[in-house]
């Protein structure tokens, strides 16, 4: 893997490495939204949402389109929604594995 591609991947995943940014991306995967809509849904202050959107825009993960006096945000690439879905599936798989491991551990303790 060349250095530029490695750096791009690293920067991309760093941009995703914040719970509020993930929540914003999950919302935008459902459809375009403006800052006020995002703020209302996530229950966060507008400044926090705007700050996270700025980071996502800087990394070309979301785009903002001016509509009247509002900016409507959308995912730059619809595959980001797929990436989030795959990440959720990986998390669920790990969760199932952890639950299975704990069940085996608890069963072993009961049998002692």
pLDDT in tens, 45-96: 879 999 999 999 999 999 999 999 999 999 999 999 999 999 989 988 888 7
With contact defined as beta carbons under 8 Å apart, do 62 and 53 qualify?
Answer: yes
Q: What is the number of domains present in the chain?
A: 1
pTM as predicted: 0.80
Cα–Cα separations (whole angstroms), residue 66 to 15, 34, 50, 70: 23, 10, 15, 6
Q: Please, which pLDDT band fits residue 99 given cuts at 50, 70 and 90?
A: confident
Q: How far apart are CA 76 and CA 73, in angstroms?
A: 9
Whether the pLDDT of residue 1 is over 70: the answer is no
Provide the domain limits for residue 104.
3-111
Asked whether 25 and 62 are in contact (CB, 8 A), the reply is yes
Residue with tokens 């530029």: 4
- Residues 25 and 43: their CA atoms lie apart, in Å, by 15
Top pLDDT among 100 and 53 is at: 53
At 51, which CATH number?
1.10.10.10
């Amino acid at each position: 893997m060349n250095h530029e591609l490695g750096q791009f991947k690293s920067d991309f995943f760093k941009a995703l490495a914040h719970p509020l940014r993930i929540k914003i991306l999950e919302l935008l995967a459902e459809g375009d939204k403006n800052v006020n809509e995002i703020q209302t849904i996530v229950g966060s202050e507008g400044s926090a949402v705007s700050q996270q959107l700025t980071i996502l825009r800087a990394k070309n993960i979301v785009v903002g389109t001016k509509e009247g006096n509002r900016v409507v945000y959308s995912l730059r690439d619809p595959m980001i929604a797929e990436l989030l879905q795959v990440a959720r599936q990986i998390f669920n798989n790990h969760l199932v594995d952890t639950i299975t491991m704990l069940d085996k551990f608890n069963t072993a303790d009961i049998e002692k």
